Amino acid sequence: MIRWVAFTFALLAVFYPLLPFLKRLWVGRLPGDFRFRFKGIDFCLPFGSALLWSLLAFLAATLTKLI
């Protein structure tokens, strides 16, 4: 269980500095993405974007496997 917590914090530490670049790729703007501000810090929980990008990665892996 502690591994998942550590993995989540490591992922967030990598994700938040990349957020300005990822906004150009519509991460955080799709339905299902939650954005909120707490004590002057913007938080983004991109559930919809994660679903879309994982679907695209799955399709790309499937297509490369067929070729």
Gap between the Cα atoms of 5 and 14, Å rounded: 14
Express each pLDDT in 3-45 by its tens digit: 877 877 787 777 778 777 877 777 777 888 888 888 888 777 8
Q: Where are the domains of the chain?
A: 2-66
Q: How confident is the model at residue 59 (pLDDT cuts 50, 70, 90)?
A: very high
- Side chain identity, residue 41: I
pLDDT the model gives residue 6: 83
Question: Using alpha carbons only, how large is the chain's radius of gyration in Å?
Answer: 14
Distances (CA, A) of 4 to 22, 24, 51: 24, 29, 19
- Side chain identity, residue 32: G
Q: What is the pTM of this model?
A: 0.60
> Could you tell me which residue, 60 or 7, shows the higher pLDDT?
60
